[in-house]
Structure 1
Amino acid sequence: MLCALLMLVLAVLAGCQQPSGGGGDGDGNGDARRTTPAPVPTRASGYGVVFLGIDECSSFGRESFTEVPCTSERAAARVIARHDGRAGEGPPCPATTDFVLHISEQRPSADEDGDGAVPQGYACMRNLEPPHPGDPGGGGGPRTIVGDCVYSAGAGEVRETSCDSEGEGENGGRAPEYQVTGAVERRSDCPASTELYVQLGGPYPVGCARPL
């Protein structure tokens, strides 16, 4: 009796198997192809998948910030570039970056996307609304670019300030003394009217500045 039951079970299982070739949609794989799970993307775009990925938004505050949907009333700035590692060692932010968020490495035991870690990196941010200190003449941003204004801070050092600033008392700004009018490879490429050379970095590292 036991042998008969075993033979019956084997017969039922054999009847459920699919043929190894032919059938299906004509590619020779049959239903086996449909049972293969699709790979899960690990760097997909969209809120919450990659921490502060490109085109995602952060809340207010540079010392304490969170990632929020760009449609949220808490959204303050958008990521325009994102790099791993330290800001001083990686690619520079785009010229009109308003500020940089430095992201510390985190390795939680569990997280929403399941990757288990947020690597150290930095996000180049652009405010969703004006003001934009990273714009030419805006008086801020991580980079000095053509159109920006500077003042002498002593000992061969200059600092950026808004081109519209009228001096102490206006948002704490200093009155501009020079404006960067061009970016060149060498000092000798600057026009004769240049009175100050400003270090810019990038492929054209010399800024030619004229007095205001």
Structure 2
Amino acid sequence: MPTVTAPTTVGLTDAYFPAGQCAAPIRGKAKGTGPPYVSVDCRHVSAVAEITKRSATAVPPRPDVPTFLSIPGRTGKSVSALAVAAARSCADNTDLLLDLGQNLLQVTGAASVLGGLEAYACLRNLEAPHPGDAGMGGGAKMIVGDCVYVTTSTDGTRATDGVTVTLETPCDGTGANRPEYRLARVFIPTYLKGDTNEVCPKNAATRLSLSVPSTKFELFSPAACAEKL
């Protein structure tokens, strides 16, 4: 396969990774979870995923908050409110939320190119597999039909603080963790609008929070009605 070259972009701007283009891996620069990407025309032979949506480049509005998203190298770690908002704005079947700042940093090796800014891109693979499809165990967010398990840490080991988190896993049992629940409904709790809490149906009576219960930002975290498997 023909190789693609690193971008000539010298800073993180809205022109970097525009929606409608595609992403292609840059071979030979892999670090950590995999190679960084460069944006190319979707007809390029090296294109692997379409950039379906891109957040505006912006300064993070507040300190990092704990949440759990499928961001390469950052899943289970604290990510900024911009990442949370970007993930929720992606289509449900998004396969990957790409941290464009970290991607550019991996390419250039110079933190100065970021300028304290952040931006994120929603990617959908041009071909299977599609981890963002319901039940496949990945993607940018949890959706109806996904399966989850409940643990006390982000890596499946016992946490000393006893905080429980809900993490995604393939419904077919091929993942490292057995699925315990299937999501039947995902929603923002109505108490945010002054209403009473949502009542889950009898066939999916378990109510789960889909992020860590920490800080006031948790008030905007989605919840789910889930069926016990």
Do the aligned partners of residues 56 and 202 (structure 1) sit closer, same or farther apart at CA in structure 2, a change above 3 Å counting?
Answer: farther
C-alpha contact (below 8 Å) 1:183/1:204 kept by paired residues? no
Q: Once superposed, which parts of structure 1, at least 4 consecutive aligned residues long, lie more than 6 Å away?
A: 200-204
TM-score normalised by the chain length of structure 2: 0.56
List alignment gaps of at least 5 residues for structure 2: 1-13, 27-33, 61-79, 105-113, 153-162, 191-196, 212-217
Q: How does 1:197-212 map to 2 (within 5 A)?
A: 197-199=208-210, 205-212=222-229
Q: Which has the higher contact order (CA 8 A, sep 6+)?
A: 2
Do the aligned partners of residues 67 and 121 (structure 1) sit closer, same or farther apart at CA in structure 2, a change above 3 Å counting?
Answer: same
Give the match's secondary structure for 1:104: helix
| RMSD (Å) for aligned C-alpha atoms | 3.1
- Taking only the aligned residue pairs, the percentage that are identical comes to 32
The residue number in structure 2 matching 1:82 is: 54
Q: How far 1:202 moved relative to its partner?
A: 11
| 1:181 partnered with 2:184 | yes
Give the match's secondary structure for 2:50: strand
C-alpha contact (below 8 Å) 1:198/1:209 kept by paired residues? no
Give the match's secondary structure for 1:129: coil
* Separation in structure 2 between the aligned mates of residue 192 and residue 156 of structure 1, nearest angstrom: 24
The residue number in structure 1 matching 2:68 is: none
The residue number in structure 1 matching 2:201 is: 191
Choose 1 or 2 for highest CA Rg: 1
List alignment gaps of at least 5 residues for structure 1: 1-48, 107-116
Aligned residues: 150
Structure 1, residues 143-194: CA drift from partner, whole Å, max 9, x if none?
11111100121342121011112xxxx4x53221100011343544211341
The residue number in structure 2 matching 1:157 is: 165
* Separation in structure 2 between the aligned mates of residue 153 and residue 203 of structure 1, nearest angstrom: 21
